[in-house]
Amino acid sequence: MMNHLINQLIQYGIQEDILNMVDRDYATNQLLFLLKLDHFEREEITESIDFFSVMPTILTEAYNKGLIPSDSIQDFDHFEAKLMDALMPRPSQMEQRFRQLYKKAPVYATNDFYRFSQKTNYIKTERIKKNIHFVYEGKYAPLDISINLSKPEKDPKKIALQSKIDENNYPKCALCMENVGFFGDENHASRSNHRVITLTLNHEKDQWGFQYSPYSYFNEHAIILKKDHIPMHVNVDTLNELVDFVNQFPHYTIGSNAELPIVGGSILNHYHFQGGKADFPIEKARVLREYKVRKTKVEILDWPMSVIRVSGGSEFKVLDVVTDILNAWKNYNNPDLNIYAKTNDEEHNTITPILTIKEGKYQFYIILRNNLTTEERPYGVFHPREEYFHIKKENIGLIEVMGLAILPGRLMKELDEIKKVLSQNHSIDQFPDLEKHEAWIETMKKEKTSEENINQFLYNQVGMIFEKVLEDCGVFKAEDKHEFFRFIEKTI
């Protein structure tokens, strides 16, 4: 049986342009070693191979032979990635392949690299399909809501084991270049089948890496990382680096998380950007006010957060205006609105910058951020209020500010339980998970909805909360728009 499965996996590699025919024998011997086999017969495979039929069977056989230490998702992932690595080109060969396609067109290179990352199952396509997606027709623009069911939670046994081992500082974090080819352990995901393309940005030759996210939150979700493990920051160099990236990959949108806690993303210790080939809800926002300055167009958008869009045909003129906005905001104070640039030598003002090219023009989206905390708002003055934590407690980062909600997988089960409370008269006491939702459920009970419409009703309620979460993060509230206008008019 295993002999046939290996033949199928080899054929899959050739079929999907992962494995070069010249390397077939080499790859076969690597697989035989990993699977502890000392005999193999070549078979002619003529049918198209489905990875998700072949690989799970191989993994089950390997586990039954004692080659995989446990039946956890994590241990299966480690072994699967190592098997796929046996079929894959080395990082330098992947670089050459990318460069050759880039010479034809940048989009050819990214199309191939993205497809390659899917076919090697580095991008977890089958798990991503489990995610729940819906659109909330909000008052600003339709918001994309995603309940993330794809990223597995750690096995409780693994968590207990992890608490007993010393912290492993190699690789330092999930984004470090040292992850390429790393087998994985209790603290690090499988990276045997990981490939990163070297980039030059802002004259820093070969100092950047281009990869895809294993759990894509949007189409061709890419991560662009500094090869050095340095912390996040947002300054003029950041803006130039984003411009250089879209000059090389004009079909991609790119952005940076803020560098400060609370308003930054989940990884603050490694400088990186995120982007992809996707349209985001923020692009559909209405314009509240428009200014024409220095051969650029500056627009204040009608969005739950405080957003400025700067567009123009010249990257230098656009950069000049955006730089002025960044510098002005870094030093902006407005005590009446609880906006302080600095307290006790701690900086609070920063931005989340996003860049795209539309119809030949650079479009910078500048989202103003502030991470001030007070006794009344210990999680952040411009952070979601605690009454919304039952839906979204984590940092509101780059992806969320663009109008794409990434909500925890637990919410799906909890929504199913809420349905039973609302439409089948079950008691909330039957569901311990719903304690955190109790106030929300009581509010929804006052709304009239039928059992047939309960799904859409709940999705709308979730979307409404996400919209309010974004509003909480806005530094200039709707009633303070005149202050927003004044800030921009003084700056540009």
pLDDT at 152: 56
Question: Tokens representing 157?
Answer: 């046994």
pLDDT at 168: 57
Q: Which of 310, 428, 290 is nearest to 363 (CA)?
A: 310
Q: Which of 267, 260, 327 is nearest to 473 (CA)?
A: 260
Query: Residue 204: beta bridge partners?
Result: 201
pLDDT in tens, the chain (492 residues): 999 999 999 999 999 999 999 999 999 999 999 999 999 999 999 999 999 999 999 999 999 999 999 999 999 999 999 999 999 999 999 999 999 999 999 999 999 999 999 999 999 999 999 999 999 999 999 999 999 988 654 443 443 343 344 445 899 999 999 999 999 998 899 999 999 999 999 999 999 999 999 999 999 999 999 999 999 999 999 999 999 999 999 999 999 999 999 999 889 999 999 999 999 999 999 999 999 999 999 999 999 999 999 999 999 999 999 999 999 999 999 999 999 999 999 999 999 999 999 999 999 999 999 999 999 999 999 999 999 999 998 889 999 999 999 999 999 999 999 999 998 889 999 999 999 999 999 999 998 888 889 999 999 999 999 999 999 999 999 999 999 999 999 999
CB 191 within 8 A of CB 182: yes
CA gap 393, 400 in Å, rounded: 12
pLDDT at 162: 38
Q: Which of 95, 61, 87, 88 is nearest to 76 (CA)?
A: 61
CA gap 90, 181 in Å, rounded: 9
pLDDT at 155: 43
Q: Which of 333, 349, 383, 321 is nearest to 258 (CA)?
A: 349
CB 144 within 8 A of CB 405: yes
CA gap 209, 403 in Å, rounded: 26
CA gap 188, 77 in Å, rounded: 11
pLDDT at 393: 85
**DSSP string over 301-346:** EESSS-EEEEEES-HHHHHHHHHHHHHHHHT--BGGGTB-SEETTE
What DSSP character marks residue 105?
Answer: -
Residue 404 sits at φ, ψ, to 5 deg, of -115, 110
CA gap 81, 78 in Å, rounded: 5
Residue 376 sits at φ, ψ, to 5 deg, of -75, -30
Q: To 10 degrees, what angle do helices 438-445 and 454-473 make?
A: 120
Residue 369 sits at φ, ψ, to 5 deg, of -130, 155
pLDDT at 157: 42
Which runs of consecutive H residues, i.e. helices, occur in 105-149? 106-119, 125-128
pLDDT at 156: 39
Q: Which of 368, 380, 371 is nearest to 484 (CA)?
A: 368
